Amino acid sequence: MSVVETQVQAQALETYPCPLLDTRFSILKQSIIKPEDKARVINSYQRLTIALEKNANLIAKRGPQAIPEIDFADVQSNDGSFPTGFKSIVKQTGCVIIRGVVSEEQASSWEDELRSYTKNHRVAGFPKDDPQNFSLFWTRPQVQIRSHPNVMKAMKAVGQLWHISQDDQLFDLESQVVYADRFRIRHPTTDAEYTLPAHQDSGAIERWEDPEYRACYQKIFEGRWEEYDPWCADHRSDAKTSLYSLAKSCSAFRAMQGWMSLSHTNTGEGTLRLVPELKCATAYQMLRPYFVLDERFNDTAPLFPGANPGNLQFFPTTKLHPHLLLEKSMVGIPPVKPGDYVFWHCDLVHEVDRFHPGTRDSSVSYNGCVPLCPYNLENLLRLRQSFLDVMPPKDFNGIEHGELERDHKDHGARRENILSVEGLRALGFEPFDAEEGGITEGQREMRRLANRKLGFESA
């Protein structure tokens, strides 16, 4: 680098609105892209910015309809899978709405019950003064939703979007593990206290810093983002999504984040917004640190915009990630009714409406797709104990809790509320079927390992 270039860079660093990280991040940055790949990465980034603009314009034109949707009945009549053409659209957008996973009446009655529960007990949550996102994990509706036969079928359908390269890898994308999360009953209001800006969950700097997490994105760092497969789970199970903070972090590989709608909610009524384009947005996010200084390749400045160490989420902004064109590419989801289910890929950028100008509560029960793999098995062992103790899952130790659910006579952590065999397995109360025909060796071994660790078979 010439003296002039160094001065330009120093000046840019001084004025750049993005924290300069420790020098070890400079070393990390240099180690990720090999010298022989540099020219290819530069070329690939140019192609990428063009593709991003094209995609953003298409999304803006389609609006909420850019988010694909399908009736649950159509999935079931197609052997429980998405039809091939539809599947490729979901893979491209990284998100899907499955309509009518349970009946409207069923989902509405769950909402009623949850509302009553929050009224009958002093429950903590967010926002603090008027909780609408409740620190509750084991109410009857939540336990029933997580184990409802149709929800388990929906999980299976979205799990099939993923694949692994080796049949003998310990991974079972067809079996579920419960990850107990909260629920939201958001009231119509003009205040913006509830909001969550554009972000990506499951870590921030970890996507670059953790070698196993980074391995998911290797093709991008070789200048071949077109070949990057966001649906390959090979390295996901061992990826460390939280290197700096254990409290409030997600200790599971959530293949898809998701929630069931418990209310009629129109677009923009205090609900989810998504960037329905997965591959280019991810590639851009991963390469952006190399081009954030004047759009020129730089692998020495310890800048990782939007990914501060210690943050549990990555935050892209229009200023630091201008090519993402968030003002065009981020759209509100279409209107949903009780019983609809929304899923989005763990790398998909999303946010929550700032305001809720509607007339009724916007209610959802969070419940992602968490496949059985060694990492998620560890979570299952802890979670089963949480269920038995009627205590918050360990991942939520860092949040404020009011009364403990175990002290509520009407808590739902009871076996009779688990509505299917798959649901019992997902909570560690029934062995996984290791003898099932047509599964891979890796699936079979994964199920055997789970059964041993859960105490169903001698080691």
Residue 120 dihedral angles phi and psi, to the nearest 5°: -80, -10
**Integer angstrom CA distances of residue 195 from 190, 270, 305, 315, 345:** 11, 8, 21, 14, 21
The rounded distance, in Å, linking the Cα atoms of 292 and 181 is 36
Ordered DSSP codes for 105-161: HHHHHHHHHHHHHHHHS---EESSSS-SEE-----HHHHHHHH-HHHHHHHHHHHTT
Binding marks (x or -) toward Fe ion, 414..433, rule CB under 5 A?
Answer: --------------------
43 or 195, CB closer to Fe ion?
Answer: 195
> Minimum distance between the CB of residue 229 and Fe ion, rounded to whole angstroms?
23
201 or 361, CB closer to Fe ion?
Answer: 201
The rounded distance, in Å, linking the Cα atoms of 274 and 266 is 15
Q: Which residues of 189-225 are buried (b: 16+ CB within 10 A; e: fewer)?
A: eeeeebebebbbbbbbbbbbbbeebbebbebbbbbeb
* Burial class of 7 by CB neighbour count within 10 A (0 to 12, 13 to 18, 19+): exposed
The residue of the chain with the least Cβ separation from Fe ion equals 201
201 or 347, CB closer to Fe ion?
Answer: 201
> Minimum distance between the CB of residue 175 and Fe ion, rounded to whole angstroms?
24
Tokens standing for 55?
């995609």
Place of tokens 């501060």: 308
> Minimum distance between the CB of residue 101 and Fe ion, rounded to whole angstroms?
21
Tokens standing for 208?
């670059």
Q: Identify which of 244, 348, 310, 293 has the alpha carbon closest to the alpha carbon of residue 29.
A: 293
236 or 447, CB closer to Fe ion?
Answer: 236
**Integer angstrom CA distances of residue 272 from 47, 62, 185, 380:** 30, 17, 13, 28
395 scored as a contact of Fe ion (CB under 5 A): no
179 or 387, CB closer to Fe ion?
Answer: 179
156 or 321, CB closer to Fe ion?
Answer: 321
170 or 252, CB closer to Fe ion?
Answer: 252
48 or 342, CB closer to Fe ion?
Answer: 342
User: Which residues touch 406 (CB under 8 Å, ≥6 apart)?
Assistant: 389, 390, 391
> Minimum distance between the CB of residue 201 and Fe ion, rounded to whole angstroms?
4
> Minimum distance between the CB of residue 35 and Fe ion, rounded to whole angstroms?
36
260 or 450, CB closer to Fe ion?
Answer: 260
Instruction: Sort strands 350-352 and 272-274 into parallel, antiparallel or unpaired.
Output: antiparallel
The DSSP letter of residue 405 is G
201 or 422, CB closer to Fe ion?
Answer: 201
- Long-range CB pairs of 109-112, under 8 A, 24+ apart, other chains included: 110/141, 110/144, 110/145, 110/262, 110/365, 111/141, 111/185, 111/262, 111/263, 111/338, 111/361, 111/363
> Minimum distance between the CB of residue 199 and Fe ion, rounded to whole angstroms?
6
> Minimum distance between the CB of residue 180 and Fe ion, rounded to whole angstroms?
16
> Minimum distance between the CB of residue 352 and Fe ion, rounded to whole angstroms?
8
Instruction: Write out the binding residues for Fe ion, residues 206-245 only, by CB under 5 A.
Output: none
201 or 269, CB closer to Fe ion?
Answer: 201
Instruction: Write out the binding residues for Fe ion, residues 193-212 only, by CB under 5 A.
Output: 201
Instruction: Sort strands 341-345 and 256-261 into parallel, antiparallel or unpaired.
Output: antiparallel
The rounded distance, in Å, linking the Cα atoms of 263 and 270 is 12
Binding marks (x or -) toward Fe ion, 127..156, rule CB under 5 A?
Answer: ------------------------------
> Angle 299-300-303 (CA atoms, 0-180°, nearest 5)?
85
Q: How many residues of this chain interact with Fe ion, rule: CB under 5 A? A: 1
> Minimum distance between the CB of residue 350 and Fe ion, rounded to whole angstroms?
6
> Minimum distance between the CB of residue 81 and Fe ion, rounded to whole angstroms?
27
Q: Which residues pair with 285 in a beta bridge?
A: none
> Minimum distance between the CB of residue 196 and Fe ion, rounded to whole angstroms?
6
Q: Using CB under 5 A as the criterion, which residues of the chain lie in contact with Fe ion when the complex forms?
A: 201
